[in-house]
């Protein structure tokens, strides 16, 4: 397996920002994954996985460790009876396509989530009232020390959260689905896609929801809209004019621009509503939100 150096993470994120990963590898099997983790451990390097980068904001200074992108067998998709069995690097769109072809329903909500199964486990991805924890049976988590299958409870899945930490790699996942007519699955996906298109910026470079919804009558998006933030810009980053809980790369944005927008959004939500917004997007490397 080739280990590349200085690979720009901007190429691996949907927002299109972020500096270089010092080392980058694409393991295609469990053996290669273990080899990569061992290689990093010997050198004392931190390891992080990038899925489709759809919930990731890497520092402009980059990441001083090894970034892994799961490929080959680790991005494969199959069905076994009512189980959807996927590699951690499998795109949700591919997994959904396979489930539909096998007449298995219950994964339609993932049509709205442009990531991988491993990224979904990391943050218990969800949409339209469904989430990973409801369909996930178990995930194979691999570290430099060994591997084991963990259930949703053992992964600590809750609202857009798991207890996983960098260095723990979701290599496989199994989802229990329900037999359903293909036509019904297709119709549900079309309906969800139409809802999504009407409410959110779907043809822009974003990383999905910026903040988790607070415990409040207003969602994060409605709150930031009421704070007058729709269309607000810092550098090349802009709060989406369509949905205030999205940040768009309007051209030449840096991760620092996005962080500055997030800090301003948090400040206004705190001042106007007394609410401390918590970010949903994952930050990687030397990058943090000011308190």
Ligand X SMILES: Cc1cc2nc3c(=O)[nH]c(=O)nc-3n(C[C@H](O)[C@H](O)[C@H](O)COP(=O)(O)OP(=O)(O)OC[C@H]3O[C@@H](n4cnc5c(N)ncnc54)[C@H](O)[C@@H]3O)c2cc1C
Q: Which residues are catalytic?
A: 160, 209, 280
- Residues 65-104 touching ligand X, rule: CB under 6 A, are 70, 88
> In sequence order, what are the beta bridge partners of 279?
211
- Pick the closer one to ligand X by CB: 53 or 285: 53
In the list 7, 9, 10, 14, the residue contacting ligand X (rule: CB under 6 A) is: 14
In the list 7, 25, 125, 210, the residue contacting ligand X (rule: CB under 6 A) is: 125
DSSP state of 213: P
> How many residues interact with ligand X (rule CB under 6 A)?
32
- Pick the closer one to ligand X by CB: 61 or 143: 143
> In sequence order, what are the beta bridge partners of 173?
86, 139
206 binds ligand X (CB under 6 A): yes
- Residues 154-183 touching ligand X, rule: CB under 6 A, are 164, 169-170
Stretch that binds ligand X, among 35-43, 77-85, 119-127, 268-276 (CB under 6 A): 119-127
Distances in whole angstroms, Cα of residue 52 to Cα of each of 115, 119, 282, 289: 5, 8, 13, 23
In the list 113, 157, 237, 287, the residue contacting ligand X (rule: CB under 6 A) is: 113
189 binds ligand X (CB under 6 A): no
In the list 53, 65, 105, 285, the residue contacting ligand X (rule: CB under 6 A) is: 53
DSSP track, 151-199 = -HHHHT-BTTB-S--TT-EEEEEEEE-EE--HHHHHHHHHHHHHHHHHH
> In sequence order, what are the beta bridge partners of 57?
283
- Pick the closer one to ligand X by CB: 39 or 103: 39
- Pick the closer one to ligand X by CB: 10 or 113: 113
How far apart, in whole angstroms, are the C-alpha atoms of residue 131 and residue 244? 23
150 binds ligand X (CB under 6 A): no
3-class DSSP string for 29-48: CHHHHHHHHHHHHHHCCCEE
How far apart, in whole angstroms, are the C-alpha atoms of residue 34 and residue 39? 8
- Pick the closer one to ligand X by CB: 105 or 126: 126
Shortest spacing between CB 271 and ligand X, in angstroms: 27
Is 8 within 8 Å of 20 (Cβ atoms)?
A: yes
118 binds ligand X (CB under 6 A): yes
23 CB-near residues (< 8 Å, 6+ apart): 3, 4, 5, 40, 45, 65, 66, 67
Binding-site ranges for ligand X (CB under 6 A):
14, 48-56, 70, 88, 112-116, 118-120, 122-123, 125-127, 164, 169-170, 206-208, 282
């Amino acid at each position: 397996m080739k280990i590349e150096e200085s690979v720009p993470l901007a190429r691996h994120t949907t927002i299109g920002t972020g500096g270089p990963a010092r080392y980058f590898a694409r393991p295609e099997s469990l053996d290669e994954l273990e080899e990569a983790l061992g290689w990093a451990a010997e050198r004392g390097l931190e390891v992080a996985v990038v899925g489709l980068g759809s919930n990731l904001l890497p520092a402009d200074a980059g990441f001083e460790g090894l970034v892994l992108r799961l490929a080959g067998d680790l991005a494969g998709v199959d069905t076994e009876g009512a189980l959807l069995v996927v590699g951690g690097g499998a795109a949700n769109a591919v997994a959904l396509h396979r489930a539909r072809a096998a007449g298995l329903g219950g994964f339609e909500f993932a049509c709205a989530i442009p990531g991988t199964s491993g990224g979904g486990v990391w943050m218990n991805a969800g949409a339209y009232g469904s989430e990973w924890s409801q369909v996930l049976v178990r995930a194979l988590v691999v570290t430099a020390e060994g591997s084991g299958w963990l259930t949703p409870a053992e992964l600590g899945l809750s609202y857009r959260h798991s207890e996983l930490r960098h260095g723990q790699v979701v290599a496989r996942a199994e989802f229990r689905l329900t037999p359903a007519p293909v036509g019904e699955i297709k119709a549900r996906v079309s309906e969800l896609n139409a809802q999504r298109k009407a409410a959110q910026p779907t043809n822009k470079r974003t990383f999905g929801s910026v903040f988790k919804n607070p415990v409040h009558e207003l969602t994060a998006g409605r709150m930031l809209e009421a704070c007058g933030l729709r269309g607000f810009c810092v550098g090349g980053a802009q709060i989406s004019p369509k949905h205030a809980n999205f940040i768009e790369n309007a051209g030449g944005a840096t991760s620092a621009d996005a962080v500055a927008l997030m800090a301003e959004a948090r400040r206004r939500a705190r001042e106007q509503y007394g609410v401390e917004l918590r970010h949903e997007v994952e930050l990687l490397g030397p990058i943090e939100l000011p308190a």
